[in-house]
Homo-oligomer: A and B are copies of this chain.
Amino acid sequence: MTLKLADMAEEQNGGRMEAIHQALLRRIEQGEIAASGRLPAERLLCEHYATHRVTMHEVLLRLEAEGRIYREGRRGWFVSPPRFRYDPLGRGHFERSVREQGRQPHTQLLDATMVEPPPLVRHMMQWPEGAPMLRIRRLRSIDRRPVLYVEHYLDAERLPGLLQHDLSVSLTELYRAVYGLTYGYLRFNITPAALPAEAAQPLRAARGSPALLIARLNHARDGVTRDCDLEYWRHDAVLVEVESREMPL
């Protein structure tokens, strides 16, 4: 009863991992396990597919790399929900665009403190060494699943009294409404990365999990650098979508 080896034999490359991988994938794709549904425990899967835990674990890691499943803390493995479509050129409307995609957004303020910015930020913003910036850290969720950890760096002196406001809403909106600030152009870059410890913890992800790092540099209308975001996305949760709005060259 353990398994139809017939199904598995047909795979081209043989190898138990490959066969189990395909079998599990089929079960996920056919909706046998619903999105956000939990997979059976590793030990149960081992029994079912008559294999060792190490092998099983590697299969699961591969499915994770493909963005089909994810894990949270040590609570188990879950089927990945559809990706959130995200356009980094359209600004500051996380909550709205999540809702437009028929899903439930949530934003949580982690903290807001003065810190020395990390080298990447200092370089992007051409910030003098040793000078502190205001860092706002937030955690954003979709359908109760934390998917995005953001560090927002900005020049505190330009935004007096910012900390008195509710920082769990759109910061862009806040800048506009309270300080009358609007944006000019922006630049962003995307790197596949692994989650650093600070990001992994609030995201309830394993250290070293695959992630997508999006660094955004915002400019004010006068061309002066305004602020900078470091966004760590769970890699299975997002699909970046960009459209050129003018005729190039």
Least CB separation from A196: chain B residue: B66
**B contact residues around A194 at 8 Å (CB):** 62, 65-67
Residues of B within 8 A of A192 (CB): 67, 192, 210, 212, 235-236
Q: Are B248 and A90 in contact (CB under 8 A)?
A: yes
Q: Pick the contact of A91 from B208, B210, B248 — CB < 8 Å? A: B248
Question: Do A243 and B67 have beta carbons less than 8 Å apart?
Answer: no
Closest B residue to A62 using CB positions: B208
Q: How many copies make up the complex?
A: 2
Contact, CB under 8 Å: A210 / B65: yes
Whole-angstrom distance from the CB of A25 to the nearest CB of chain B?
11
> In A203-224, which residues have CB < 8 Å from any B CB?
207-208, 210, 212, 221
Contact status B65-A239, CB under 8 Å: no
Pair B187/A242 contact, Cβ less than 8 Å: yes
Residues of A within 8 A of B (CB): 13, 54, 62, 65-67, 83, 85, 88-91, 182-194, 207-208, 210, 212, 221, 235-236, 239-249
9 contacts between A and B (CB under 8 A): A65-B194, A67-B194, A88-B242, A185-B244, A185-B248, A189-B240, A189-B241, A192-B235, A245-B246
